Amino acid sequence: MAVARKIRTLLTVNILVFVGIVLFSVYCRLQGRSQELVRIVSGDRRVRSRHAKVGALGDREAILQRLDHLEEVVYNQLNGLAKPIGLVEGPGGLGQGGLAATLRDDGQEAEGKYEEYGYNAQLSDRISLDRSIPDYRPRKCRQMSYAQDLPQVSVVFIFVNEALSVILRSVHSVVNHTPSQLLKEVILVDDNSDNVELKFNLDQYVNKRYPGLVKIVRNSRREGLIRARLQGWKAATAPVVGFFDAHVEFNTGWAEPALSRIREDRRRIVLPAIDNIKYSTFEVQQYANAAHGYNWGLWCMYIIPPQDWLDRGDESAPIRTPAMIGCSFVVDREYFGDIGLLDPGMEVYGGENVELGMRVSVVTVSGDRVRLSEAVASEDRVRANAAAVSGDGVRVSAAAASGDGVRAKSAAAASGDGVRVSAAAVSRDGVRVSKAAASGDGVRAKRASAAVASGDGVKASATTV
């Protein structure tokens, strides 16, 4: 019995050990599988996360590509407005950076356009309406900051039988280089042009390209430059109005200095600093800062700035001047009305250069540059008169103007120590001017004190076409 009991005990122990070994091996296998499962699950999560990131990046790239495509579509649609009328939009191409441009295929058509417009209109048609031009502002002008509450401006362009590409480049330039919050509107005054492309093509283009921003005023008869400007003034709705010929190109930051000067004193008329656009190649040529005077023929001219301005050594400072040029000036709209606007009796350009200089305080600003296109000189286009150079300055005299013009008895001289004008009335700022009487509907000039605003003013780069 004892032996049998021992045998059963050993068998029981062996069975228990065997069962334990089996259970332990099963447990180990289960543990291995669970760890493998954990690894698989975590790996799957990482893969899913990686795919999610890749998917997000892919979605972002797809969105960006769609936006780029949409931008390209919009640009092509807008650029498509220029192509049907034979013009070019966008960056690049001929004349970029204000460099001289030429055409290999200049022929009889180009010569015909030279005769018609006084400049290379065929080349202008090949130059982009959005071309870049050099920034000739003094360094200090570029570093200036301005108030946030500057007044808005209406920009008025006057034209008659101008090349369409030149007009539209003026419009593109002012829109591209004026902050949108400051540019209230652009007004094109057509002084009864008979050029066909300035009718339907111009209307269709600006209405689609700049809906609500660009307005066209058409005179039913030829009024002349002065009365055409008055039509632009009547149509303007902004508190400040800028008057320009329709062959200009604006530089970056042209508006802020001019508007800032007028914000400080609404009785100022601000003249942008003027550069030149060559009539044959459309090359932008820099002009030095200058004051304005007039000669015996009452033609406005560039004169050496006053000595006190030169001694200051600050190119950004405004320059006081006794005369002004009418092709590029900015003025408070209400104040312009208060002083009688321009004399509507003046039939041709040039008289306003002297008339306004005798009535207001004019400021020329070099920080605000505008470029004017020049034209081939001819009897009915551009006339230039020289002044006698004497010592360290240029002497300029005013002669009597007949008819309903302004009678001036005084002589203005830009000398080393400033600008002096012999006269009956003396203004506080040291500029002496004579009283001028205008007949009939003319304006009585009380005094002339003018200033050219440079640095802190507006740089307008303009080219006389």
φ, ψ for residue 109, nearest 5 deg: -65, -40
pLDDT of residue 118: 92
Does residue 109 form part of some domain?
A: no
pLDDT of residue 297: 80
pLDDT of residue 229: 96
- Beta-ladder partners of 272: 365
Please indicate, yes or no, whether residues 338 and 213 belong to a single structural domain of this protein: yes
Please indicate, yes or no, whether residues 64 and 175 belong to a single structural domain of this protein: no
pLDDT of residue 19: 73
> Residue 173: enclosing H or E segment and its boundaries?
helix 164-176
Please indicate, yes or no, whether residues 305 and 228 belong to a single structural domain of this protein: yes
Using an 8 Å Cβ cutoff, are 309 and 319 in contact?
yes
Residues 6+ away with beta carbon under 8 Å from 182? 150, 151, 152, 153, 255, 256, 259
Please indicate, yes or no, whether residues 181 and 48 belong to a single structural domain of this protein: no
pLDDT of residue 402: 29
In the DSSP assignment, the letter for residue 150 is P
CATH number of the domain enclosing 287: 3.90.550.10
pLDDT of residue 210: 96
The pTM (predicted TM-score) of the whole model is: 0.66
Does residue 104 form part of some domain?
A: no
Please indicate, yes or no, whether residues 316 and 422 belong to a single structural domain of this protein: yes
Range(s) of the domain holding residue 432: 139-463
pLDDT per position as a tens digit, 71-92: 544 555 555 688 888 899 998 8
Please indicate, yes or no, whether residues 391 and 316 belong to a single structural domain of this protein: yes
Please indicate, yes or no, whether residues 158 and 62 belong to a single structural domain of this protein: no
Please indicate, yes or no, whether residues 308 and 455 belong to a single structural domain of this protein: yes
- Beta-ladder partners of 368: 459
pLDDT of residue 437: 32
Does residue 94 form part of some domain?
A: no
Please indicate, yes or no, whether residues 281 and 348 belong to a single structural domain of this protein: yes
Please indicate, yes or no, whether residues 226 and 353 belong to a single structural domain of this protein: yes
Does residue 11 form part of some domain?
A: no
pLDDT of residue 51: 58
Q: Which of helix, strand or coil describes residue 176?
A: helix
For every residue of 48-111, DSSP letters joined together read: HHHHHHHHHHHHHHHHHHHHHHHHHHHHHHHHHHHGGGT---SS-STTGGG-----TT--HHHH
Please indicate, yes or no, whether residues 77 and 153 belong to a single structural domain of this protein: no
Does residue 121 form part of some domain?
A: no
**Domains: count for the chain:** 2
φ, ψ for residue 227, nearest 5 deg: -70, -30
Q: Which of 39, 61, 82 is the last residue of a domain?
A: 82
pLDDT of residue 233: 98
Q: Which of 33, 50, 82 is the last residue of a domain?
A: 82
Does residue 128 form part of some domain?
A: no
Does residue 234 form part of some domain?
A: yes
Averaged over successive runs of 10 residues, the pLDDT of the chain (465 residues) comes to 70 72 70 59 59 61 62 52 86 93 81 90 95 92 92 98 97 97 98 93 95 97 95 98 96 94 93 92 91 82 82 81 87 95 86 80 55 44 27 28 30 32 31 32 32 35 34
Please indicate, yes or no, whether residues 182 and 270 belong to a single structural domain of this protein: yes
For every residue of 243-260, DSSP letters joined together read: EEESSEEEPTT-HHHHHH
Does residue 8 form part of some domain?
A: no
pLDDT of residue 446: 31
Q: Which of 82, 108, 125 is the last residue of a domain?
A: 82
pLDDT of residue 379: 30
> What is the residue-averaged pLDDT of the chain?
74
